[in-house]
Amino acid sequence: MVALAAALVLAGSAAEARVGGGRGSFGSRGARTYTPPPATRTAPEAAAPIQRSQTPNQGPTYNNPGLQGPNVAQPRRFGFGTGLMAGLFGAGLLGLLMGNGFFGGLAGLASVVGLLLQIGLIVLLISFAMKWFRRREAPSYAGPQGYQRTTAGGSVPPSGGRPMASGLGGLAGGALGGALGGMNQYRRRTDVRDEIGIGEQDYAGFERSLVELQDAYSRQDIEKLWTLATPEMAGYIQEELNDNAARGVVNKVSNVRLLQGDLSEAWREGATEYATVAMRFSLIDVLTDKATGRVLEGDPTKPEEAREVWTFRRVQGGPWKISAIQQA
């Protein structure tokens, strides 16, 4: 029984290795927190739904802004008899009471109706002009390397142009270019939902965040964690470190290396921008006893692979910060 209990403790500890490894999917993706990100070649299966988030789940209406909620009041509809005929009938009664006969009050009413028709015509003309100006001033988005935006939200190379290779691996100086060839091809497809135009510098930041976050987690550097992640995510990660300390164990993560990655979607919500990226990476992940340094779980000489979907957030062009991690 003692051996069984020890095995269960070690299994639970191993399941919680690396950042969020055993904590499921957590964090926030703005208005798309509870909407699964599109599948990619790196993560072809649907990512695990977010289980812990400070963003309230308000059902399908919240996840699909275009869907009308069940409690939305329907506009009142006016029929011919309840609108114009009611006004005419009231005017006739007024004329009858004033001694001008039932239709005597319609003379004054005609001028009022004419005025209303003129006002209505002016409103229609103003509305038409505003729509026309909005269409002319609507921005045309372009992706990296001059890729033109499509109505489907993806990007295609300009006519006559040759698409340039780009991707998450290019950020590391080309060292991972071969491993990320699939990502370059994926970014040329028109079904990638990129409303921002994610470029090479953005991918470099994503890859750097992957390495730096695991390193800060391994060193238990709380201050660094709070600079890399949103306050919500930093709080969740700090909880993991506190749990490890309570159990007397230390999670050592090293040799983090990105193997493959591609963009799932990128979008804008007001002044805030989001980018969700699927990443497959290798790392050495061991759990050690804090007092003795003895390895409790994992192999310090053998790298293992992980596949996750990370969402990054930035405000008004500031630095990208990790806002959600989902298991793929």
pLDDT of 14 above 70: no
Domain count for the chain: 2
Q: How confident is the model at residue 116 (pLDDT cuts 50, 70, 90)?
A: confident
* pLDDT: which is higher, 98 or 203: 203
What pLDDT is stored for residue 154 in this prediction? 37
- For residues 140 and 47, give the distance between their C-alpha atoms in angstroms, rounded to a whole number: 31
Domain identity same for 203 and 259: yes
Domain identity same for 41 and 106: no
The mean of the pLDDT values for the chain is 73
Domain identity same for 129 and 196: no
144 located within any domain: no
Domain identity same for 128 and 165: no
Per-residue pLDDT tens digits for 191-212: 678 999 999 999 999 999 999 9
The whole domain housing 219 covers 25-54+161-327
- H helix count then E strand count, the chain: 8, 9
Domain identity same for 122 and 195: no
Task: Sort residue 136 into left (φ over 0), alpha (ψ -120 to 50) or beta.
Answer: alpha
268 located within any domain: yes
CATH number of the domain at 184, please: 3.10.450.240
Domain identity same for 120 and 47: no
Pairing of strands 193-194, 249-269: parallel
Domain identity same for 243 and 292: yes
Per-residue pLDDT tens digits for 261-275: 999 999 999 999 999
Compute the C-alpha angle 56/60/66, nearest 5°: 110
DSSP labels, 87-142: HHHHHHHHHHHTTS-TTTTHHHHHHHHHHHHHHHHHHHHHHHHHHHHHHHH----B
What would the mean pLDDT of 116-141 be, rounded to a whole number? 68
Per-residue pLDDT tens digits for 154-173: 333 333 433 333 345 444 43
* Residues linked to residue 279 through DSSP beta bridges, in sequence order: 261, 308
pLDDT of 189 above 70: no
What pLDDT is stored for residue 22 in this prediction? 59
Pairing of strands 295-297, 304-315: unpaired
312 located within any domain: yes
305 located within any domain: yes
